[in-house]
């Protein structure tokens, strides 16, 4: 686990597409901030391109995507394509919301480091993001 000292973990949290359900994203944002992370919350109705560009601009370690429409695989494909175009594949991607069980192995194969469905523990989410942020720091 990373300490909350010198360098804060930066996480970009966004909802891509027309999904208007953002309560879970607000809760996760609050959890991450309480854990000492800096959260850039883009809010609803973002595009994959906007998210990828903001992630680079904000120099985040993690892109966190929330979806409640059941199209997470399509959303992640778009985000990965945009990060590749911008040479930013080193930014970890985590997802949360309503994720079909059958989609989890697909998402992980695509490179998503963590899938957090409703009911995931706060500690599990925080620990995972801290781990992937540490790996990114060590690889740079």
**Under 8 Å between Cβ of 42 and 26:** no
In a domain, 1, yes or no: no
pTM of the model: 0.91
CATH of the domain at 111: 3.40.50.280
Per DSSP, 3 falls in state -
3 in a structural domain: no
Residue 73 lies in a domain: yes
Per-residue tokens: 91: 């930014």
Residue 14 lies in a domain: yes
Is residue 38 included in any domain, yes or no? yes
Q: What is the pLDDT of residues 42-77, one digit of tens each?
A: 988 899 999 999 999 999 999 999 999 989 999 999
Domain limits at 32? 10-139
Q: Is residue 86 part of a domain?
A: yes
E strand or H helix at 39, and its extent? strand 38-46
Task: Tell me whether residue 131 is exposed, middle or buried, using C-beta atoms within 10 angstroms of its C-beta: 0 to 12, 13 to 18, 19 or more.
Answer: middle
Q: pLDDT per residue over 9-35, tens digit each?
A: 999 999 998 787 888 899 999 999 999
Residue 140: the pLDDT is: 64
Total domains, the chain: 1
Q: Angle, to 10 degrees, between the axis of helix 72-85 and the axis of helix 48-57?
A: 50
């Amino acid at each position: 686990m990373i300490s909350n000292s010198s360098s804060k973990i930066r996480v970009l949290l966004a909802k891509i597409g027309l999904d208007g359900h953002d309560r879970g994203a607000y809760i996760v944002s609050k959890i991450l901030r309480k854990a000492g992370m800096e959260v850039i919350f883009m809010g609803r109705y973002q595009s994959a391109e906007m998210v990828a560009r903001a992630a680079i601009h904000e120099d985040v370690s993690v892109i966190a995507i929330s979806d409640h429409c059941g199209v997470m695989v399509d959303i992640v494909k778009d985000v990965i394509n945009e990060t590749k175009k911008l040479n930013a594949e080193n930014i970890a991607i985590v997802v949360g919301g309503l994720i079909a069980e059958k989609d989890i192995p697909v998402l992980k194969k695509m490179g998503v480091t963590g899938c957090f469905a409703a009911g995931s523990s706060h500690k599990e989410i925080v620990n995972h993001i801290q781990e992937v942020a540490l790996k990114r720091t060590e690889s740079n």
